[in-house]
Amino acid sequence: MMMNENMLEIRPITFKSACSFIKEHHRHNKPPQGHKFSISVWNGDSMVGVATAGRPIARHFDDGLTLEINRTCTDGTKNANSKLYGAVWKAAKAMGYLRCITYTQQFESGESLRAVGWVKVKSLQARKSWSESSVKLRHKKDQFGSGGIERVLWEIRSN
């Protein structure tokens, strides 16, 4: 059966349910630690993706007017990721945010972001994992996150 983007519907979701979906489906990140809000995208009776949005992780972006999409995660349904990015930005603008940012890994195309008006800001060098800065965590192997991976910063702004 062919899937049409018009069949995709945005719905609210609890943080707990969004995290469960991310834990089950995300290919390289664990669920975030917190959020300001989460949304889901549905195809009929099936939830096919989620997004979580919160304060920017980088302190210099945390100005009270910038929101970061910390995770998007889909089951691969066509256009679901674009639908999530667009819906988060629409909600963010309605809440008074002037800018929204997110990151992708360098090898990811960013097609879902460009499709809904996001622009590439810059490429970022690979960095060590968060556990590298903690003596208590150095012994753990960080299988999640972006440690050692080049990333791309994306944004969308109000006019």
Q: Mind listing the domains of the chain with CATH numbers?
A: 5-157 (3.40.630.30)
Model pLDDT, residue 126? 80
| Burial state string for 42-66 with b = 16 or more CB within 10 A and e = fewer than 16 | bbeeebbbbbbbbbbeeeebeeeeb
Q: Note down pLDDT in tens along the chain; length 159 residues.
A: 445 556 999 999 999 999 888 887 765 556 567 689 999 999 999 999 999 999 998 899 999 999 999 988 899 999 999 999 999 999 999 999 999 999 988 878 888 989 999 999 988 888 665 555 444 544 444 444 445 778 899 999 997
Model pLDDT, residue 100? 97
Nearest CA among 111, 43, 28, 31 for reference residue 77: 43
Residues 6+ apart with CB under 8 A from 47: 13, 21, 40, 41
Q: Give this prediction's pTM.
A: 0.80
Chain centroid offset of residue 112 CA: 11
CA distances from 158 to 29, 50, 100, 138 (A): 29, 23, 9, 41
Half-sphere exposure of residue 78: CA atoms within 13 angstroms, side-chain side: 7
Model pLDDT, residue 25? 72
